[in-house]
Amino acid sequence: MKIAIGCDNAAVSLKRILNDFLATQKDIQIVDLGVDSEDDLELYPNVAERVALEVASGNCERGIILCGTGLGMAITANKVPGVRAATCHDVYSAERARKSNNAQIITMGARVIGPEKAKTVLKAWLESEFAGGRSAPKVQRIVEIEQKYLSIEK
């Protein structure tokens, strides 16, 4: 599985830890889209956009985006058509984000979650797949609503 990862300056340390963790997992290829230093103050929406585009284009199956809270990254990534990004700081939400919402992107906040729990949450999200069934028409409805507002003339 090819996964894009990115962070802002608030989550550089967490990204390093999660990259090391991902390197121990089977069949995972990481595309790291920065930032790589706490001194790099690139605005978080730029990073979120890069990761979201990798996923929306099909170049990567999944994305991981980290910031202080995970919130700004999810808000931004969800602006990119085709992307479903969910902020998850617990295992149950991470599983449901895949099984119910088919979220291809997980966001987490380095100021919210510690590294060990972040690894556990990430593992649950990586190992969960979309369940389809009763969730399928709901996710399809998200896609339709997105299409509806994309076609509104500016």
Q: How many residues bind ligand RB5 (CB under 6 A)?
A: 9
**Residue 69 interacting with ligand RB5 (CB under 6 A):** yes
Structure tokens at 73: 């990254």
φ/ψ of residue 16, rounded to 5: -60, -45
Interface residue with ligand RB5 among 4, 10, 105, 118 (CB under 6 A) is 10
Rounded CA-CA distance 69/4 in Å is 19
> Considering beta carbons, is residue 63 or 109 the nearer one to ligand RB5?
109
**Residue 68 interacting with ligand RB5 (CB under 6 A):** yes
**Residue 67 interacting with ligand RB5 (CB under 6 A):** yes
Q: Would you say 48 and 76 are in contact if contact means Cβ atoms under 8 Å apart?
A: yes
**Residue 104 interacting with ligand RB5 (CB under 6 A):** no
Q: Would you say 108 and 121 are in contact if contact means Cβ atoms under 8 Å apart?
A: yes
**Residue 115 interacting with ligand RB5 (CB under 6 A):** no
Q: Would you say 144 and 81 are in contact if contact means Cβ atoms under 8 Å apart?
A: no
Rounded CA-CA distance 46/73 in Å is 9
Rounded to a whole number of angstroms, the minimum distance from the CB of residue 112 to ligand RB5 is 9
Q: Is 67 annotated in the active site? A: yes
- Contact footprint for ligand RB5 (CB under 6 A): 8, 10, 44, 67-69, 71-72, 109
- Residues belonging to the active site: 67
